[in-house]
Amino acid sequence: MTDAVVTDEERAWAQSVLDRGEDSNVHLLAYCRFLTNPAEGSAPVRNAKGGIIGYVMRDTTDEIERLSAKEAEHLTAAGSSTERELEEAHLAVAQNYRLARMVRETDAAYAAQSFELAPVGWENLMPSALQLVYIGKSQGIWPHQRAENDAREADACEDRLMNLGRKALADRLHRADVARTAKNATDDELDAEIENVKTSDTAAFLILIRERDARSKKLRSARTKTQRALASDAPFTGDEEKLLSNTASQTKGMHADKLAELRDVPVVTRGDQLRGEAVRRELARRGA
């Protein structure tokens, strides 16, 4: 527990120890110096029996509370979010603040130990998870420097991560809207929109292309199924006329003997009728 003040009785006792100047126990002397002249902005930490076992700096305590509050804020926001992208962004921000808080708590523990104030007792106040975090200088910087750096980075990343989440959400909604529009568009409208976005919106362009390819696949499948049907006297449909028009360039380049050979192929399916009709029209064009 933390008590904001050192009592007059504790201070008087500590001063008497220092005045005697006989004790060689460096831990006791450091403890007494703290009691008689506590660091500015510090508050003593007491054990369950009321004895002072260390101290905390008020600014450090305030920073731990701030980081904890930011972590809780984003965890709450993640839990109430209905959009996956925003939930993930809030969780990422909360994790940053949690790590920054843990390093700051380690910094508080290290600060007390560096003044040799009951170092073993202080460890009892340290969360077990922090036992795995370094104590002492690491990668060239001290814990308080790392704590300050991590807190700054957590604050700096908050807006960036949330903006990334919002952008991911906007992109997904945009793709869904383009897919709905593409599905309801006519073939001509689809072709026009593909031409319109091909250099300005890659995501929309790919969605539109997939829709066009899917339609082409369905159309090819339907044509194949139709052509496999038995021959009939039914007039040619619009799709069949379009197919005949597309094959005109092929029959135009054929030798007359090849055309004559194809003209004599037995007609069994609707596809046979279409090939025969294409040959007949080319022969008629040639006046044969």
The separation between CA 118 and the C-alpha centre of its own chain, rounded to angstroms, equals 44
Reading phi first (left if > 0) and then psi (alpha if -120 to 50, else beta), residue 140 is in left
- The answer on pLDDT for 72 being more than 90 is yes
| Rounded distance between C-alpha atoms, residue 166 and residue 93, angstroms | 13
Question: According to the model, what pLDDT value does residue 118 have?
Answer: 44
The token pair that represents 35 in the structure block: 């009691």
CA angle 272, 221, 195 (to 5 degrees): 115
- The answer on pLDDT for 197 being more than 80 is yes
Question: According to the model, what pLDDT value does residue 167 have?
Answer: 92
CA distances from 12 to 27, 36, 77 (A): 18, 8, 51
Asked whether 3 and 61 are in contact (CB, 8 A), the reply is no
Task: Read off the pLDDT band of 119 (50, 70, 90).
Answer: very low
The token pair that represents 129 in the structure block: 């998870």
- The answer on pLDDT for 124 being more than 70 is no
Entry pTM: 0.56
Paired residues of 57 in beta bridges: 42
Q: What percent of the chain has pLDDT over 90?
A: 18
Q: Which amino acid, 57?
A: M
| Rounded distance between C-alpha atoms, residue 59 and residue 151, angstroms | 13
Paired residues of 141 in beta bridges: 138
Give per-residue pLDDT as tens, 141-185.
666 777 888 888 899 999 999 999 999 999 999 889 989 888 888
Q: Which residues contact 282 (CB under 8 A, 6 or more apart)?
A: 248, 251, 252, 254, 259
Asked whether 55 and 38 are in contact (CB, 8 A), the reply is yes
Q: Which of 16-20, 32-36, 95-99, 104-108 has the highest mean pLDDT?
A: 95-99
Asked whether 193 and 236 are in contact (CB, 8 A), the reply is no
> What's the N-to-C CA distance of the chain in angstroms?
109
pLDDT averaged over every residue in the chain:
79
| Rounded distance between C-alpha atoms, residue 79 and residue 76, angstroms | 5
Q: Which amino acid, 246?
A: N
Question: What dihedral angle (degrees, nearest 10) is formed by the CA atoms of 81, 83, 86, 88?
Answer: 90
